[in-house]
Structure 1
């Protein structure tokens, strides 16, 4: 009997999450749904602490964790997102990054390589600035310096703000190209991503938006001494490539990788190229400054 599309998607989701350890952790006064990969296995590499995009749950990025089998991976759902309980009070970048350090303490992890995509890229920048001693290297994907960003396409941004993109799969599929642009590979890849998404609570989504209101890293980035890989798509309708150029100019020790034909979800459409670049970047020998910091 031929598998239905739904069965194929369920199997792909199970495959992506098969090695994840899912727990509920209460840290910093908040209860968070946490996923870790391979923290109990010996590795010569630091784990990656990953900050997700706005409204996105753990499952949306699970394939990336699976694609890096030689290192640990840590990710959590923001309050009111995915499986994390609804937030009671708002939070900001400072409090959430501090909460992340409490989670690392709970997991017995001292230092990490930090990565963030889109909204999570702002959180990753803030974590590296606020907690430099716990950050070795930084990977920023499809993100900006915050308030000073060059805005994307109005049509894409308006649909990005529409909660139907999480609730209505038909709406998401219809507007996928407008939202995310770029080469999306096979149709199944697109549907896999849609299938992984779980609608955030309205309050959870609003608090995520509120957390970065007025935030910018621009004045501080020239003083940040973290080796940084910036990955941007040249067909990103939400965070245009110009934002990557700005980050590259502001961060002293950075390199910019442009994914040709890549939209906002180039981690999905250009996964092999992204993983290869990340592994090459993370495996480069430490500089003297990094060795001292460690």
Structure 2
């Protein structure tokens, strides 16, 4: 077991014709909370967000490496948000999980939106972190986007360290958080990275959000995000009927690390808030 996955059970699972590396925290323990299903950012392995799973220690947590990412084998055929949402639903069936709170960061925020719309009965609440409505988004700074597209940020540690502030904002500064994040990353395979990029080409949730994403939704953005500017969070808030926007002041793309305590508190407050009238009606239906 990885030193960065304390308390997690990590296995290779056959899911929907794919082999996926799956991590789950506290899934076998009694809990008053539904599990969290987390979709990671592009090229990022489970370990990158393990600190969040460990911090939300009162609830079960499920995460998996996308095909060709982390330790999941390369994809044989391409995938898209529809097929991967179906695969995630098959994983929940395999694990015996009925309903989840769905979270996603950056690229994974698109997956979280799609999963919630495709499988509304399996989704209680949604948390969208540093993300957008897909192709119809306000682009980030050109300097950051060109470096973001370069897979060297995963294969070359010196490249990542030199360009860390350009990519992710200055929130981590020279703190141990930057080095700690780097130590958790594992290089994706070229095919895995390419297929993950291709999965979202042409995808947007914008036309469907108002009609299909009915769950209570928390949108979290940093106001210094060079990759997914704050304007995208405001667009999501305008399009998602039951949503609230929380802005991390001074937060870059990785405000989950630079503003960890604030982020965890905001997520916990949202997930633990009393059921809305809409949720009560759905539960009774």
User: Is there any run of 5+ residues in structure 1 with no aligned partner, and where?
Assistant: 1-12
- Could you tell me how far apart the structure 2 residues matched to 1:113 and 1:102 are? 16
CA distance in 2, matches of 1:15, 1:92: 31
Q: Deviations over 1:269-292 (max 9, x none)?
A: 000000000000000111232134
User: Does residue 65 of structure 1 match 2:63?
Assistant: no
Name the SS of the counterpart of 2:27 in structure 1. Answer: coil
Partner SS for 2:97 = coil
Q: Does 1:260 align with 2:260?
A: no
Asked if residue 293 in structure 1 is aligned to residue 282 in structure 2, the reply is yes
Aligned-pair CA distance for 1:15: 5.7
1:175 partner SS: helix
Q: Pick from 45, 51, 56: which aligns with 2:44?
A: 56
Per-residue deviation, 1:144: 0.1
TM-score (norm 2): 0.97
Map residues 16-27 of structure 1 onto 2, 5 A cutoff: 16-27=4-15
CA distance in 1, matches of 2:50, 2:156: 22
TM-score with structure 1 length normalisation?
Answer: 0.94
Please give the alpha-carbon distance, in whole angstroms, between the structure 1 residues aligned to 2:65 and 2:276: 33
Q: Which residue of 2 aligns with 1:205?
A: 193
Contact 2:165 2:173 in 1 (8 A): no
Residue pair 2:105, 2:128 contacting (<8 A) in 1 also: yes
Query: 67, 83, 89: which is aligned to 2:71?
Result: 83
Match status 1:182 vs 2:170 = yes
Corresponding residue for residue 230 of structure 1: 219
Deviations 1:14-68, CA, capped at 9 Å, x for gaps? 6641101001111111000000000011000011000000000000000000000
Task: From 92, 101, 117, give the equivalent of 1:113.
Answer: 101
Q: 3-state DSSP class of the match of 2:37?
A: strand
- d(CA) in 2 for partners of 1:251 and 1:288? 17
**Cα distance in 2 between the residues matched to 1:19 and 1:155:** 38
Match in the other structure for 2:236: 247
Aligned partner of residue 207 in structure 2, secondary structure: coil
Whether the 8 Å CA contact 1:16–1:66 is kept in 2: the answer is: no
The 8 Å contact of residues 81 and 199 in structure 1, kept in 2 or not, is answered as: yes
Q: Secondary structure at the match of 2:44?
A: coil
2:206 aligns to what SS in structure 1?
A: coil
Residue 132 (structure 2) aligned to one of 144, 147, 165:
144
Contact 1:182 1:264 (C-alpha < 8 Å) held by counterparts: no
* Most deviating of 37-46 and 177-186: 177-186
- How many pairs are equivalent? 282
Residue 268 of structure 1 aligns to a residue whose secondary structure is helix
**Alpha-carbon separation, structure 2, partners of 1:238 and 1:185:** 17
User: Considering only aligned residues, what root-mean-square deviation do their CA atoms show, in Å?
Assistant: 1.2
The answer to whether residue 118 in structure 2 is matched with residue 130 in structure 1 is yes
Deviation of 1:88 after TM superposition, in Å, equals 0.5
Deviations 1:79-131 (A, max 9, x none): 00000000000000000000000000000000000000000000000000000
C-alpha distance in structure 2 between counterparts of 1:280 and 1:182, whole Å:
27
Residue 161 of structure 1, CA deviation:
1.0
